[in-house]
Amino acid sequence: MTPTLLLIEDDSALRKSLAQSFELEDIAVIAASSFVMAKSHIACDFEGVILSDIRMPGRDGFDVLSYARKIDPDLPVVLLTGEADVPMAVRAMAEGAYDFRQKPCPPEQLIEVINRAMEHRHLVLRSRNMERKLQAGDAAAANFPGTSSPVERLRAALRQAASLPVHIYLHGPAGAGKRLAAHTIHALAPDKQRFISLSLRDTGADALKALDLTSQPTDLSVKSLDVANSAQQTALLDLMEQFPDLRVIASSPHSLERLRDTGLRDDLFYALDMLQIEVPSLAQRRKDLAVIFEALVRQTVRSMNGDMPKIPESLYAQVIARDWPDNLPELRNFARSFALGLNVKTDANSCAELGLAEQMNAFEKLVLTDTLRRFGGKSAAVADALGLPRKTLYDKLAKHDLRAKDFRSPHS
């Protein structure tokens, strides 16, 4: 999202000074001198936060807070006051203010508070958007969330595949989500009434021949093609020719060309070669790791009719920093453990088995990813926050295979 601050301050000089400070940090500012002027901007889809003075003529900052919470209880409101009033601070926090600051507040402190509030707002709106997609039945968006280029290409390919009357071949590393991709294609296809999933490792040629596919249009998902089993390949081809309403969605970790080189029949190759789709690994979707983790946690709590827990920023940073060689099953297990309140294996625990150099590298990577996330991938802000020369920061990002652009909002 585009960071936007609704600034409500009746003092003209202070309002201009604050606006300049935030604009220098690439935060767009909507400046208003009163609650009445600001009211029209306060909406449930407002992509930002509110910073309001408390003492103003007419309706004050508590009126702003009360109105904002009626419109959207998750819209962060930070209140400013010129008086060191403890009861007022207690009241502000009790009534739902995100934070409370006394004027004059050092600009760097206020900017840090607003950045945290912006991140909170971003997560809230992202979560709502995911819920809307789930309710709208967009299986591609729900099953493969994120904004990285690989996942955007995957979603487009799955939607295209769902609408075409051709056999499909999915390939990608183990655990990347090939079976989920096959389910997604079926969910997006209005004319396919039945879905059958088989592992050809456990299904012989006779079992394939015995399948009854006459009653209704069917998507048949098959994995583990055995290039050494000629009878099995023949049986699969016979099914394709015998049932015109059958669509085969085959998958394996290898490209179709590699399978042909190792024994796949040419006629089966050409039957599946009409549409090949690569399902990317989590390593290729590093930009999406936080939202994938959040979606997996949401799936777990929804299955138990539970409430979505608050995910600590440190846990998001850990998810982004870690490698997930086993892809979705490994990350899903981690998400379920967190959602169920079990002790998840943290980087601190796993580091016990590493040497000092490895531990230092792991910690450095965690700090870098956390800071990149906090500042939305803005290299200058990250370098300043970490006290690093720009070139040193770039060298460290390259060392850990991190890219600042992967942490930026697509609309910023």
Taking residues 229-256, report their average pLDDT.
93
Is pLDDT of 162 > 50? yes
Domain ranges of the chain: 4-133, 139-280, 285-340, 356-400
Taking residues 204-227, report their average pLDDT.
88
d(CA 140, CA 146): 11
pLDDT of residue 284: 92
What is the H or E stretch that residue 399 is in?
A: helix 390-399
pLDDT of residue 98: 92
Smallest Cα–Cα separation from 278: which of 171, 370, 350, 390?
A: 171
pLDDT tens-digit map of 116-161: 899 888 888 887 877 766 655 688 988 998 888 899 999 999 999 9
357 or 262: which carries more pLDDT confidence?
A: 262
Taking residues 39-67, report their average pLDDT.
91
pLDDT tens-digit map of 289-324: 988 999 999 889 888 877 788 888 778 878 888 889
3-state secondary structure of 170: strand
Count of CB atoms situated within 10 Å of the CB of 51: 27
Taking residues 351-375, report their average pLDDT.
68
All residues at 6 or more sequence positions from 152 whose CB lies less than 8 Å from its CB, including other chains:
146
Taking residues 366-379, report their average pLDDT.
81
CATH T-level assignment (fold) for domain 356-400: Arc Repressor Mutant, subunit A (1.10.10)
Is pLDDT of 327 > 80? yes
Same fold, 4-133 and 356-400: no
Is pLDDT of 50 > 80? yes
Q: Does the domain at residues 139-280 carry the CATH identifier 3.30.1180.20?
A: no
Band (pLDDT 50/70/90 cuts) for residue 177 is very high
Taking 3-state DSSP, the helix, strand and coil percentages for the chain, each rounded to the nearest 5, stand at 55, 10, 35
- Residue 184, CB half-sphere, CA atoms under 13 Å: how many? 25
Taking residues 332-352, report their average pLDDT.
71
Give phi and psi for 195, each to the nearest 5. Answer: -125, 125
All residues at 6 or more sequence positions from 44 whose CB lies less than 8 Å from its CB, including other chains:
71, 72, 75
CATH number, span 4-133: 3.40.50.2300
- List helix spans (H) across 243-325: 256-261, 266-272, 289-303, 313-321
pLDDT of residue 350: 45
pLDDT of residue 84: 64
Q: How far is CA 108 from CA 80, 83, 97, 99, in A?
A: 15, 20, 20, 15
Per DSSP, 398 falls in state: H
Band (pLDDT 50/70/90 cuts) for residue 345 is low
3-state secondary structure of 383: helix
Is pLDDT of 378 > 90? no
On whether the CB atoms of residues 239 and 266 are closer than 8 A, the answer is: no
Residue 116 Cα to chain centre, angstroms: 18
Smallest Cα–Cα separation from 248: which of 218, 214, 207?
A: 218
Taking residues 228-233, report their average pLDDT.
91
Taking residues 217-228, report their average pLDDT.
89
pLDDT tens-digit map of 257-283: 999 999 999 999 999 999 999 999 999
| Side chain identity, residue 101 | R
Least confidently predicted of 162-166, 229-233, 260-264, 321-325:
321-325
Instruction: Work out the mean pLDDT of the chain and round it to a whole number.
Output: 86
d(CA 401, CA 378): 17
